[in-house]
Amino acid sequence: MFEFLSYSFGIRALIGGLAVAFACSILGVFLVLRRLSLIADGLGHVAFGGIALGFYLNIYPIYTAMASVIVGAFGISYIKQFNVYSDAAIGIFESIGLAVGVVIVSLALSQPSTLFSYLFGTILGLSNNDVLLALILSSVVGISLFALWKELISITVDNDFSRVAGLPVDSLEFVFTLLTGITVVLAVKLIGVLLVSSMIIIPASAAIQLKREIKQTFLFSILFALLSVIIGLQLSFSYNLAPGGIIVLVSIIFLLLSVVVNRLKPNTQKSFSISSWKHSD
Amino acid sequence: MKIESSPLRKFNSPSSLLVKSPILQARNLSFSFDGFTKVIDDVSLTIYDNEFIGIAGPNGAGKSTLLKLLVGLLNPSSGSRAFTCNLSECVGYYPCRPCIGYVPQQNSLDERNLPVSVRDVVSMGLYGQIGLFRKLSDENISQIDKVITESGLKSVENEQFSNISGGQKQRTFMARALVSNPHLLALDEPVSSVDQKGKEEFYSLLSHYHKKHSLAIIMVLHDLSDLTQITDRTIFLKNKVLYDGPSKKLGKDGLLKLMFGENLER
């Protein structure tokens, strides 16, 4: 069992994968509850443009992807001020990202095969530096989201009330957007542009399906994401399957199981409260 | 937002209320979404301590917009607003966060099966005060317990918010607004989607807070008969203030006349 751990690239894939799954699964709960799930998909495509630019300019592509995603994330927020609907704003930046990537590929100045590896991820090809970067950035994302969780939950529930109650809503939105950008770039490296949103949306959706209290929702989301990576990597090794795709398919199984569990549950809701664990954590 | 510190004179205040101290003063407020059409046109008003004010008007009259201007969710195109509740946090800034509690329209919070309990929602009323990265203190938890009990939510405090009735949801929102002990409670059509029983319970609770805690209340309300019965003062708005005075003097008939185009004398 877990024979992939006998290879150093397998260990790197596991550590990098778990780090990214951790960040994605926490962020995902906020994004899904705020109905912003598609922003991950849009930013993934923006990252593709940034990666292509990195190849073109001969800069480490993750850096250019990070820059482009942050510009994209704030661009999406900015153009919404001009009466552009959220989904349209995401679509516009998604198109820009893809268009830039395709145009750079057509210039034939980059290496299309390497560039296209970012479409499907390179979790088995992670270097030590990639793993270190994934660990650092996912720690930053995880710590920030946990530190600000009560404020982020409040703006998730009711943005207007939070503003009147004195929360610095604009600053919180800024930090949240930044963390979303960082997480998307990390996930792009591992599972690719085309599957980035699944890593963020599916474990969170599976956890929300269970209708547990908020702390348990986060814990289940993390658990589903981590198990998807572990099981997905093992299946990938055992049956020579694309790791990014199989990780996502495993997470889909967790989602289906959650739906079934939710259906089988009696109609009485479990009592719960955030406040009950205020002093225990 | 910084405001000018010059004292404002009193506007449209019923004479019976002049002895009370003002909490919020708004002067010549105007607001437009598109830069051309004034949704709020030169509105001035003063809210006094322990007043119960109802804002009425036809659809599109700017009622919710006025409330959002008063609570600081929107900034006026022209005019000024000032809280005068003399809290140190309020000097020179608008809105005065500790001074105001806000209950938004229920439909502004769509049903998303959010995994939060009633108690969680009420606790959120204190998040703005306890500061970033900090947990609720024992004192905060006592405040939350007190407002939950007083609002009749004890039996459902640990229920998932999306599972409780419309009336209980509105009481939860009110408890969330009141947990920080504000001087003024602003409500935007709080009972628009609540059944008759829930409505009566809500008004009863509102009246309890108004009387027992000397809370000033300003509320946008569609139901004209309710408005004249439960409020002390009515502001009738049709982008401009058409009436600002005692609710009893206006009565339901007076409100109906205003609503259908026949202005009463101020």
In the prediction, which pLDDT does A263 show? 87
Which of A166, A168, A273 is nearest residue B158 as measured by Cβ atoms? A273
DSSP string, B78-143: EEEEEE-S--GGGTTBSS-GGGEEEE--GGGS-----S-BHHHHHHHHHHHHH-TT-PPPHHHHHH
Q: Work out the mean pLDDT of chain A and round it to a whole number.
A: 86
Residue B131 has pLDDT above 90, yes or no: no
Which ipTM was obtained for this model? 0.82
Report in angstroms the alpha-carbon separations of B227 from A142, B203, B232, B234, B252: 49, 10, 9, 8, 8
Encoding tokens for residue B209?
């807070």
In the prediction, which pLDDT does B9 show? 31
- How would you classify the pairing of strands B52-56 and B100-103? unpaired
Closest residue in A to B94 (Cα–Cα) = A164
Q: Work out the mean pLDDT of chain B and round it to a whole number.
A: 83
Least confident of A99-113, A143-157, B30-44: A99-113
In the prediction, which pLDDT does B63 show? 93
Residue A255 has pLDDT above 80, yes or no: yes
In the prediction, which pLDDT does B107 show? 58
Rounded to a whole number of angstroms, the distance from the CA of B229 to the nearest CA of chain A is 28
In the prediction, which pLDDT does A143 show? 93
Among residues of chain A, what percentage have pLDDT more than 90?
42
Encoding tokens for residue B145?
């317990």
Residue A109 has pLDDT above 80, yes or no: no
Give, as one character, the DSSP assignment of residue A269.
P
Cβ contact (<8 Å) for B124 and A271? Answer: no
Radius of gyration of chain B (CA): 18
pLDDT band at A281 (very low <50, low <70, confident <90, very high): very low
- Which residues does chain A have within 8 Å of residue B177's beta carbon, measured at their own beta carbons? 161
Least confident of A45-49, A85-89, B24-28, B84-88: B84-88
pLDDT band at A35 (very low <50, low <70, confident <90, very high): confident
Mean pLDDT of A191-212: 89
Question: Which of B219 and B86 is assigned the larger pLDDT?
Answer: B219
B40 neighbors B76 (Cβ within 8 angstroms) = yes
For A33, phi then psi, to 5°, come to -65, -30
Q: Rounded to 10 degrees, what is the CA torsion of A180, A182, A185, A187?
A: -70
A33 neighbors A7 (Cβ within 8 angstroms) = no
Cβ contact (<8 Å) for A278 and B121? Answer: no
Cβ contact (<8 Å) for A279 and B135? Answer: yes
Radius of gyration of chain A (CA): 19
User: What H or E segment, with its residue span, contains residue B47?
Assistant: strand B38-48
Contacts of A274 (CB under 8 A, 6+ apart): A150, A153, A213, A214, A215, B116, B117, B119, B120, B123
To probe the interface with A, which of B83, B158, B170, B178 has the most A CB atoms within 10 Å? B158
Give, as one character, the DSSP assignment of residue A189.
H
Mean pLDDT of B46-72: 92
In the prediction, which pLDDT does A246 show? 92
pLDDT band at B262 (very low <50, low <70, confident <90, very high): low
- Which residues does chain B have within 8 Å of residue A33's beta carbon, measured at their own beta carbons? 112, 114-115
Residue B31 has pLDDT above 50, yes or no: yes
Rounded to a whole number of angstroms, the distance from the CA of B132 to the nearest CA of chain A is 7
In the prediction, which pLDDT does A118 show? 81
**Rounded distance between C-alpha atoms, residue A247 and residue A235, angstroms:** 9
Q: Chain A residues contacting B, CB < 8 Å? A: 33, 35, 147-148, 150-151, 153-154, 156-158, 160-168, 208, 211-214, 217, 269, 271-276, 278-279
Rounded to a whole number of angstroms, the distance from the CA of A33 to the nearest CA of chain B is 7
Angle at which helix A243-264 crosses helix A196-209, to 10 degrees, equals 20
Q: Chain B residues contacting A, CB < 8 Å? A: 71-73, 95, 97-98, 100, 102, 104, 108-109, 112-117, 119-121, 123-125, 127-129, 132-133, 135-136, 141, 144, 157-160, 163, 173, 176-177, 180
pLDDT tens digits, one per residue of B207-223: 888 988 889 999 998 87
**Rounded distance between C-alpha atoms, residue A24 and residue A40, angstroms:** 10
Cβ contact (<8 Å) for A157 and B114? Answer: yes
Highest-confidence range of A54-58, A135-139, B130-134, B161-165, by mean pLDDT?
Answer: A135-139
Determine how many CB atoms are found less than 10 A away from the CB of residue A108: 8
Rounded to a whole number of angstroms, the distance from the CA of A212 to the nearest CA of chain B is 6
**Rounded distance between C-alpha atoms, residue B216 and residue B50, angstroms:** 4
**Rounded distance between C-alpha atoms, residue A20 and residue A149, angstroms:** 19
Contacts of B239 (CB under 8 A, 6+ apart): B38, B39, B40, B41, B61, B62
In the A/B pair of chains, how many CB contacts fall below 8 A? Answer: 107
Question: Which of B213 and A128 is assigned the larger pLDDT?
Answer: A128
Burial zone of A55 (CB within 10 Å; 0-12 exposed, 13-18 middle, 19+ buried): buried
In residues, how long is chain A? 281
Cβ contact (<8 Å) for B117 and A158? Answer: no
pLDDT tens digits, one per residue of B149-208: 999 999 999 988 888 888 888 899 999 999 988 989 999 988 877 788 888 888 888 988
- Which residues does chain B have within 8 Å of residue A279's beta carbon, measured at their own beta carbons? 135
In the prediction, which pLDDT does B87 show? 67
pLDDT tens digits, one per residue of A202-241: 999 999 998 888 889 999 999 999 999 999 999 999 999 9
Cβ contact (<8 Å) for B97 and A211? Answer: no
Cβ contact (<8 Å) for A160 and B129? Answer: no
Cβ contact (<8 Å) for A271 and B177? Answer: no
User: What H or E segment, with its residue span, contains residue A23?
Assistant: helix A8-33
Closest residue in B to A163 (Cα–Cα) = B73
DSSP string, B154-210: GGGTTSBGGGS-HHHHHHHHHHHHHTT--SEEEEESTTTT--HHHHHHHHHHHHHHH
Mean pLDDT of A117-141: 88
In the prediction, which pLDDT does B14 show? 46
Nearest in space to A211 (alpha carbons), one of A150, A266, A154, A142: A266
Least confident of A57-66, B127-136, B174-183: B127-136
User: What H or E segment, with its residue span, contains residue B241?
Assistant: strand B240-246
Residue B141 has pLDDT above 70, yes or no: yes
Determine how many CB atoms are found less than 10 A away from the CB of residue A206: 28
Nearest in space to B12 (alpha carbons), one of B66, B36, B48: B48
Cβ contact (<8 Å) for A217 and B132? Answer: no
- Which residues does chain A have within 8 Å of residue B95's beta carbon, measured at their own beta carbons? 164
Closest residue in B to A214 (Cα–Cα) = B115
pLDDT band at B92 (very low <50, low <70, confident <90, very high): low
